[in-house]
Structure 1
Amino acid sequence: MTKNSAENSASGASSEDISEPHIARRGLLYIVSSPSGAGKTTLARRVLAADSNIEMSVSVTTRPPRPGEQDGVDYHFVDHRAFEDMKERGELLEWARVFDNYYGTPRAPVEAAIRDGRDVLFDIDWQGAQQLSEKMPHDVVRVFVLPPSGEILEGRLKSRAQDSAEVVAKRMAAASSEISHWPEYDYVLVNAQIEQSTAAALAILTAERLKRGRQLGLSEFVRKLQSAL
C-alpha cells in the first residue's frame, strides 16, 4: 500500500466522487449600483454569464429603448400611464425617477424566485436599493461600484456614444451625489479592471449564499447527520 493510499484509508476517504447534498436555501437579492458609466451593467452581465444560479431582474422603464435593447429582455418598456397604474396596484417592489424617466422592479417574479431558492441580480440605483432594503432587509446583498477616477468615468460615458454631450454632462454632475451613498452598501468595488471586479463580485455571491440564515434546510441536514453518527 502506498503512503497516499494508507492516508486515504485512515481518513475514510474514497477515490469516488461524493455528491454534494442538497440543502434548501432561500434566494437572495444581489444589488449592484454605481454612477452611470462606472461599469455596473458590464459587471452584472459577467456575473450572469459566469453563474447559472442567478438571474437578472428585468425592470420596467418609461425611457425609450437604446440600440440593440429588446423589450422583455433588457427592460419592459412601458409608457408613463402604464407605469403609474403598476405603482397604484402595488405591483412594484421599488421605483425611482432617473433623468426624467421612471424605473421599477415588478414584485411577483422576484418574490417567486426568492421562495424557490433562486437568486436575482439587480442593476439599480441607490434609490431602488434603499426601497428593496426596507421591504426585504434580510434578503438583500448590496454592492456599490466606483470608477477608479473621474477622468476615467467621463471617458467611459463618452465612449459609449449613446448619449449627447448634454446628457453626459448631466450624468457627470449627478455622479458625486450618487457616490455619496456608498456607505449604505455592504460591499464596495473599485472597478479598475473588469476581470478582477468580476472575480470579487462572484466571491461575494458565493459567501452570501453560504450564510447560515439563508440555508433553510441546514438544521434538518445536521439532525440527520447527527442521527447517523
Structure 2
Amino acid sequence: MQLSITNMVLHAGPVGQLVMFTLLIFSIVSWTIVFTKARLFKKVRLDSEDFLETFWSSANLSEALVAAEDFDYSPEAEVFITGFNELQKINKIRSKKETGISGESLDMQLATMDNLKRAVRKAESRKINFLGKNLPFLATTGSATPFIGLFGTVWGIMVSFHDIGQRGSASLAVVAPGISEALVATAAGLAVAIPAVIFYNHFSNQLDYIQSEIDNFTTDFLNLVERDMISRV
C-alpha cells in the first residue's frame, strides 16, 4: 500500500483530526506572518537606504524633511520627522521666552536637547515595536507545535493499544496502521515548527540590524542639532 498522509488524517479519530486542524491553523497564520514580514522588511531596507542617501546629500534639515515624507517605510525618516517637528515646537517656545541672558539660554538649550532626545527615542521605540509585531507568534509556533503534534501521537498510540486489547491480537498488521497514523501528528508538528523557528530567528536578526541602524542615525541627528546649538552660543 502506498503511504498516503491524507488518508491517514481522514481515518484518524476526532482527537487526531483536531490536533491536525490546530496545526494547520498555526501553519497558515505563521506563513502569513512570514510573507508579510518579508515584504515589509524589504520595503524598510530599500526606503531606509534611499532616505539616508537623500538626508546626507540635503543642504539643510528643511530640505531633508520634504524628502523624508516620501519614504513611508523608512524608520529613520519617521524618527527624523518626529525630531524635526519637536525641534520646531521647541524653537517656537524659545522665541517667545528669549531673554538674552546667557545662563538662561544655556539652560534652555539643555532642556531642548532633553526634550528632543525623548521625542526621537519614543518614535524609535514605537517603530521597532511595529516592525516586531506578530513575531512572538512565530516563536510560540516553534515551541508549541511539536508538543501539540506529540500529544496527537501519544493519543493515537493509546487508541491503538486499546484496539489491540479489544481484538486480542498484537500482530504487525494490527498495530502498524494505528501507530503510523499517530506518528503523522508528530511529523506535522515538526513541519510547522521548523520553518517558524528559522524565520523567527531570521526576522529577529533583521530587526536587531534595523534597530542598530536607527540608533546610529538618531545619534548622528542629535549630534547635528547639538553642534548647531553650540555654534550659536
**TM-score with structure 1 length normalisation?**
0.21
* More helix per residue: 2
Name the larger-Rg structure.
2
**TM-score with structure 2 length normalisation?**
0.21
* More strand per residue: 1
